Structure 1
Amino acid sequence: MRGGVFSLLCGALLLAQDVAAQQPVSVAGFKAPTWVKRSDGSSNYACKCYPGDYCWPNHGQFQKLNNTVGGNLQVNIPPGAPCYNTFKGPLGDVQTYNEAECQKVTSNWYDEQFQIELPTAGLWTYFTNDTCRPTTTPTDTCTLGYYPVLVIMAKTTAHIQAGINFAREKNLRLVIRNTGHDFLGRSVGWGSLVINTHGFQDIKFTDRWRGSCGYTGSAVTVGAGVQAFQVLEQANAMNPPKIMVTGECATVGVAGGLVQGGGHGPLTNFYGFLADTALEFKVITADGVLKTASSKTNPDLFWALRGGGPAAFGVIVEATYKTFDDKASAGVLLDIDTTHTTNATLFWEAVRIFHGYSTHFVDNGLYVYYELGTTGQNLHVHPFVGIGKTPRELQAVLQPMFDDLDGIGITYTTSSAGFATFYDLYNTMFETEAAGNSALTGGWSIGRQDVEENHPAIITAFQTVVGAGSFMVGHMWSAGHGLPEKEWAKSAVNPRFRHVVDKLITIVPVGGNAPLADKAAAQHKLTNVVDAALRNAAPNGCAYINEADPYEPNWQEAFWGDNYAALLKLRKKFDPDGVFYAVSTPGTENWEQIETGTRLCLKL
């Protein structure tokens, strides 16, 4: 049993509440009447309502919500619970052992799509606290950890509105979840109510967009739950085949956090971010009202939704994007690892040569996806992508790099292939990603000027990352290469991204259930060693909110640069009471997760 219907624990919702020990508190400027006063260290806080609090809704209130959402309110039970005799949840104990379900969960734990289809699973488990992973010992303890308490499996816009209104009125922590495909723990949250939007699966194509923006070309409208592989498959079946900007990973949703973070991918060289191709949104804001956002209707909200921060301005129910004719494409793979050399000096010289051509690659329209240090001395480029290029044309762009590699005497493994469309390349040359692992994730980007003026220091920073037991995933593209400069400011992404040539993800492995001291040490390593090395070597770079350290220093500047002041003003306009929350997004300066990262509170 992976999740329980609301009625399963309806009686347990009538929790004994330690009301006498609690003090209601009001917060100036916020409408919510049900804040809970807490202290943590020397600071006082006004917190949202959680199980056991005086303000936690009673059974009748939850039953009314369940009726309003068509019986789609569920008590959340962690995915690994079928492997345990008992799930000891905050709303009561449930007998959960089921051998067949346990085997199913265990065998599919690292499968992304399996995790995506679950009500509240986070694809990467660090922020769940890893308290209920699959086990072969059923007598072990399974608790909720930082998974949400309740989830609405929304089927209609009205269900989403009801969930937002309930969370706002009762001052509950609210989480919006489609695929759980995020690195920063935004899809989970201790004691929270989740609205799951994955059921919104409509896809509609048009040859001629008749909306705003002055655009009259082809477009696609997708529901909140649609994933990249779904829309790309249907687009490819058209005559002629179409394509749209999506992330590198095929399982990412395309109408929620991706576009609100910007949304980069293999087509970014040509069309910019996914946010740059957005034409219109249907969005429910914190007041529970469904709005249209476009260049003509609610243009300020439209701008903010295009890269201004995930889970910050509203719940996107539907999004419309430009589509483009697909093109014949070519790809090249490259590997250099310990089977080619055990000489560290030679290996890092090869990395220097490869990365030194980053500006050359993007100036020639290439997209490059690579991993560095996954097994220590390992450069894994899978693939170089030449959209609209033949294998011979792509090889000509890459030949200077290969000549330089040959010149230092290093061996390598490489292969190339041509495809009728980029979609065919996408399905063949990009590797499948896995879920279910635990790590802290950070990242930084490298500006063109950094490569041109400070490249030796960048390679030294790469050595620092790998030497710290971490590894990197690189994405070479230029969001300002094919998009006219007059279009750049129409989305809210950091202006510095228009001059980036390599966007990096950094990974520091650590268990979600590790001792607190180990977690603190891992966070210190990520912020002050790994990412600090990259920041210092690439001062003209910036950070990407969807793939970054959630505790990035000076995050307002790092994530949004000169756009932050305007985004903060819009956050106060559209969500003045903090109904939505995602760490380090506009307007969250005074919010903290206190008591070991559990309660979400305002610092008084």
Structure 2
Amino acid sequence: MGKNVGAGSLGLWTHKLKSVEVISNYYSTYYSGPAVKMGAGVVGEDALPVVSKAGLRIVSGSCPTVGLVGGFAQGGGHSSLTSTYGMGADQALEWEVVLANGTLTTATPSKNQDLYWALSGGGPGTYGVVVSLTVRAFKDGAVAVGSLSFSADANESNDTLWAGVEAWLSNIPALVDGGATAIGILSPTSFSVSPLVLPDRDEANMRDLIAPVTTKLDILGLEYSFNVTTFPTFMDFYNIYFIPPEWQLIDRISGGRFVPRPVLQNSTAEFVSVLRDLTETTDAMIALVGVGSSIQDAIAPNAVAPQWREANMNVLAQLQWQYNQPWDFNLAQIDEINNVIIPKLEAVTPGAGSYLNEANFANPTWKEDFYGGNYDKLRKIKKAYDPDDLFYGPTIVGSDAWNVASDGRLCRA
């Protein structure tokens, strides 16, 4: 999203703030139980082994290099555990933050509540320099993990494949209601889901959740592969699925779109038609992340985009950044994301918005899409804590106080 760059600016490097402290009995008026305090530089692969050793689990990003205190929690943060426990921002107990005037302060649901609200999902790098975050932790235990795949047979019409995709999408609301999340990848001739994650459940529970889909695939005569494994802990699952080196870098141009629950319940065929069109007419990799969260999951009210609470899926459309091509080639790819691919998704998901951490920095309607009805309140909070708009990043709240000049410098708007 380009939030880490700004010609002539001062960048604050928090990467080496690596402390991870497990708190067995955190106590406050709004939560009591296990918690974990993390420095601003902590990424998933720093925290998860420490937390797991204590017999706990926390909501973290899929990729092990995701910074848990920065863009992840401050931007919302979805996870393989989100359908069960909520967003990353929903776990926030207290933020330690240096304000624009140099003051170190703490924001909690009972102290500096407006700042706590904004930091918890209102966008990273915006309201102050966070130096630590304390989050709720959960008792660890079994995790059921599945994979499902099917493809178009050479002797069959692709219509059968897409009927199978429709069966999968129709079952997403029930899947997330059951506490599961799923990452699916589409191509013109195949569909695969891996991992499909169901915390605190076993193989039988997983098979029950997926039964409506496999029954439909059987009726369609579509051959498929469906496998389920139960891991004893979250870390055992994570080490297999997310630690491999290929997860260390994603060098793609992304665009995204939420899919509200009613679309999956009532307009599945129209949605599938758009997905089919995108896979058959563009080079985009289409990822379908089935995930649901409710404000009831949160420690306290927060600034997670209202659209998140209405969505049961996040669609990612990605084009590969081409290092061997001229700059204009990649600019054209960004244009295709924002002016061809995303508008087609918008047509079937009106007003749904996009996840600010997995969208595109050139999105022309970023205020509405990334923040929804929270934007005006967030702008007032930023003005209260950062009156001179010292903190800047593309598409953060208040970023339109600045213009980017032709040579890349920031100038007052």
Structure 2 contact 254–318 (Cα < 8 Å) conserved: yes
Whole-Å separation in 2 of the counterparts to 1:490 and 1:340 = 52
Q: Which of 406, 420, 442 does residue 232 from structure 2 map onto?
A: 420
**Hey, what's the Cα distance between the residues in 1 that align with 2:101 and 2:320?**
39
Matched, 1:397 2:214: no
Q: Which residue of 1 aligns with 2:368?
A: 557
Structure 1 match to 2:197: 385
In structure 1, the residue matched to 2:116 is: 302
Secondary structure of the residue aligned to 2:17 is coil
Paired with 1:186 and 1:379, the residues of 2 have a C-alpha distance of 33
1:314-373: per-residue Cα shift (whole Å, max 9, x none)? 111111001011121211112234678774322222222211211121122111112223
Return the match for 2:2 from 185, 194, 204: 185
Listed as ranges, the gaps of 5+ residues in structure 1 are 1-183
The residue correspondences of 1:318-333 to structure 2 (distance < 5 A) are 318-333=132-147
Q: Distance in 2 between matches of 1:447 and 1:518?
A: 33
**Closer, same or farther in 2 for the Cα pair 1:434/1:195, shift >3 Å?**
same
Q: Does 1:600 align with 2:410?
A: yes
- Cα 1:409–1:195, aligned 2, differ >3 Å: closer, same or farther? same
Q: Tell me, which stretches of 5 or more residues in structure 2 are unaligned?
A: none
Aligned residue among 92, 114, 127 for 1:278: 92
Which AA in structure 2 matches 1:280?
Answer: E
1:36-55, aligned counterparts within 5 Å? none
The 3 A distance-change label for structure 1 pair 470 and 424 is same
2:15: which partner in 1?
Answer: 198
Tell me if 1:361 matches 2:175. Answer: yes
Structure 1 residue 524 and structure 2 residue 335: aligned?
A: yes
Kindly state the Cα deviation for residue 437 of structure 1 after the two structures are TM-superposed. 5.7
The one-letter code of the counterpart of 2:104 is L
**Per the alignment, do residues 464 and 185 of structure 1 end up closer, same or farther by CA in structure 2, a change over 3 Å counting?**
farther
* Equivalent residue runs for 1:427-442 within 5 Å: 427-430=239-242, 432=244, 433-435=246-248, 438-442=251-255
Q: Kindly state the Cα deviation for residue 192 of structure 1 after the two structures are TM-superposed.
A: 3.9
1:476 Cα deviation from its structure 2 partner = 1.0
1:566 to 377, 381, 386: 377
Equivalence for 2:270: 457
Superposed, which structure 2 residues align to 1:332-347 within 5 Å? Answer: 332-337=146-151, 343-347=157-161
TM-score (norm 1): 0.64
Cα distance in 2 for partners of 1:352, 1:602 equals: 49
SS in 1 for 2:97: strand
Aligned position for 2:354 = 543
Verify: 1:446 aligned to 2:262, yes or no.
no
The 1:488/1:469 distance shift into structure 2, 3 A limit, reads: farther
The 3-state SS of whatever aligns with 1:525 is helix
Q: CA deviation at 1:436?
A: 5.3
SS, match of residue 193 in structure 1: coil
In 1, the alpha carbon distance for the partners of 2:51 and 2:321 equals 39
Counterpart for residue 64 of structure 2: 250
- Contact kept, 8 Å, 2:90 with 2:300, in 1: the verdict is no
Deviation at 1:395, TM superposition (A): 0.8
Which secondary structure does the structure 1 equivalent of 2:222 belong to? coil
Secondary structure of 1:369's partner? strand
Q: Cα offset for 1:546?
A: 0.6
The residue identity in structure 2 corresponding to 1:243 is R
**Distance (whole Å) between structure 2 residues aligned to residue 434 and residue 264 of structure 1:** 16
Cα distance in 2 for partners of 1:515, 1:251 equals: 29
Q: Distance in 2 between matches of 1:539 and 1:562?
A: 15
Contact 1:227–1:251 (Cα < 8 Å) also in 2: yes
CA contact (8 A) 1:382 1:431 kept: no
Task: Note if contact 1:439-1:512 (Cα within 8 Å) is conserved in structure 2.
Answer: no
User: Does 1:408 find its partner at 2:220?
Assistant: yes
Contact (CA 8 Å) 1:438, 1:512: kept in 2 or not? Answer: no
User: What is the CA-CA distance between 1:585 and the residue it aligns to?
Assistant: 1.3
Q: Is the 8 A contact 2:92 2:299 kept in 1?
A: no
Does the residue aligned with 1:397 lie in a helix, a strand or coil?
helix
Q: Is the 8 A contact 1:464 1:533 kept in 2?
A: no
Quote the Cα distance in structure 2 between the aligned partners of 1:237 and 1:324.
13
Larger RCO (CA within 8 A; separation ≥ 6): 2
Q: After the TM superposition, which of the residue ranges 306-315 and 348-357 deviates more from structure 2?
A: 348-357
Give 2:52's match in structure 1, choosing from 219, 236, 243: 236
SS at match of 1:256: helix
**Could you give the per-residue CA deviations for residues 253-300 of structure 1, whole angstroms, max 9, x where no partner exists?**
111111110111111112211111101111112222211111222211
Over 3 Å counting, the alpha-carbon distance change for 1:564 and 1:341 in structure 2 is farther
Q: CA deviation at 1:222?
A: 0.6
Separation in structure 1 between the aligned mates of residue 299 and residue 271 of structure 2, nearest angstrom: 27
**Within 1, Cα distance between the matches of 2:241 and 2:44?**
16
Q: Secondary structure at the match of 2:400?
A: coil
In structure 2, what residue type is equivalent to 1:531? I
**Residue number in structure 2 paired with 1:575:** 386
Tell me if structure 1 keeps the 8 A contact 2:258–2:307. no
- Residues 429-481 of structure 1 show CA distances to partners (whole Å, capped at 9, x for unaligned) of 3474445564321101101011122211211221233221101222211111x
Q: Deviations over 1:222-274 (max 9, x none)?
A: 11111112221111112xx1111111222211111111101111111122111
1:436 and 1:329, CA in 2 relative to 1: closer, same or farther beyond 3 A? closer
SS in 2 for 1:251: coil
Instruction: In structure 1, give the amino acid aligned to 2:125.
Output: A
**Worse-superposed segment, 387-396 or 377-386:** 377-386
> Percent identical across equivalent pairs?
31
